[in-house]
Chains A and B, each alone.
Chain A
């Protein structure tokens, strides 16, 4: 059987023929498979042979995978596999690597065969951490699309006992051919072996390990892409991977440039990297909006150097969440108030070892000039910035 397939280039034609055939002979297939399974048990095919044929089938599938991208088509997996899945089931039952259930759904005919493959340990390790995630994702997807037939990859160690359980499952499956039952069983199997990746192949698609693993990978990536779409503005319209990546790259670059620019700006605005005034002021400015004015008055009086401790920064930060507008308003209010307040700010900042007076020392005449210039520029710029911050 499988030897024919390996050499057969016109799988597509066969497939179509099988579809028609299958729709007629679905029931007989149901019944027949039962027998065939048992038959295959009795005829013990040598292991090496099964492996070869298996891989042959797998390679044969690759062409089909390209040809049939749409899983929702009415391809009857069962029909398609009158040679293939047939062969699959037989081989699955025999392969000591283990076999799982194969479901045939009622009229929607979504057959899920399960393929057990030995996967390289590295893949397993990489996916180990994420297997549970994948599992839950898969479960959600299953619930979402009820019609799609799936198959599972369970990477299992060579375990002879699995064979027996696999047989039991397969015999049970024919009776209960519904999605929910398959989900339950899949859940059970997942719970038992949490470090495997459980993948369901869609109807009409190849079930070889490589393409299935590929699909897992792709689905993970597309999931992440969706998150990225939310993060990166303006990505809603772009669907392709390359376009999305392009947007991501542009966004990361722009963010990095913004950081550079802002740090440069800070460097110019703050000549001595003296951000302590900033802290104090920010604290005053960002008091809760109701008590801004009083807050300004109160805090300026208390000579507590604790302002400069990190505890204060928490409060500062609470305020920084608020828009800068409120800060500006507070400042303007403070400016209309008695002039003493800013001076007291300056005094309180003296608590810090790095005295602000250093800022105004003679050697920094240039810097003072710069600040004046900045001062003139600032009123214009700050308006622009408020626009940005409100964002």
Chain B
């Protein structure tokens, strides 16, 4: 695995921090709540563990902030400095997003008629390219939905963000998996001890 161990450390640290904060607030939670807390803290930890904040990390954090319950956790995890950065970037993102959407609407309305006429006189080759383009468009749409904050990105930066996001997801999965295994081993040991 070529994912950096430094990033993993950072993520793990923050995640544990977040979990401790979670535990300190409530004693009893049902399983779904716990799962949500775990996931949330891991997501936020992942987003804040990055050295250079990227679009998706900011989007994750700002989405989490919207939910009132979690803001405390989020704020504590992120730290004061990055909060300011977040606000600025999130404002920019919102305005950019709106602009992009307006442009898209315009484009769509303009191109619709043009496309129809274009299709009429197409050779087979062009038809193939058109189909390919449509496929690509569909998939970029799906990818935009998957990557947090990807709605307002153009194709190139979307791919860049997706790259970054994949890396961080891998780190997240690795760390979580090893923690799960560690806890299992611990419990296994405990149970064995009890049985003996």
Residues on A close to B: CB < 8 A? 66, 126, 217, 220-221, 224-225, 227-228, 231-232, 240-242, 245-246, 248-249, 251-253, 255-256, 258-260, 262-270, 272-279, 281-282, 285, 310, 313-314, 316-318, 320-321, 324, 327-328, 331, 334-335, 339, 342, 353-354, 358, 371-372, 374-375, 378-379, 381-382, 385-386, 388-389, 391
Contacts and interface: CB of A to CB of B under 8 A. Distances in A.
Contact of B186 (A277, A353, A381): A277
Nearest to A324: B181
Given A267-B38, A375-B187, A389-B178, 5 more contacts: A259-B169, A267-B35, A279-B16, A310-B13, A358-B27
A255 B173 contact: yes
Contact of B169 (A240, A255, A318): A255
A342 B193 contact: yes
B34 interface: yes
Contacts of A321: 5, 8
B93 interface: no
B35 A264 contact: yes
A285 B185 contact: yes
Nearest to B176: A262
Contacts of A258: 173
Contacts of B23: 272-275, 354
A240 B20 CA distance: 46
Nearest to A268: B31
A334 B159 CA distance: 48
Contacts of A66: 125-126
Taking residues whose C-beta sits less than 8 angstroms from the other chain, chain B's interface range is 35 or more
Contacts of B160: 224
Contacts of A269: 180, 183-184, 187
Nearest to B5: A321
B139 interface: yes
B146 A253 contact: yes
Q: Which 6 A-B pairs have the closest CB atoms?
A: A375-B191, A267-B34, A267-B35, A245-B139, A255-B169, A263-B39
Contacts of A263: 35, 38-39, 42, 176
Given A324-B181, A389-B177, A252 B34 contact: no
Contact of B19 (A253, A273, A375, A379): A273
A282 B42 CA distance: 18
Nearest to B157: A126
Contacts of A316: 12
Nearest to B13: A313
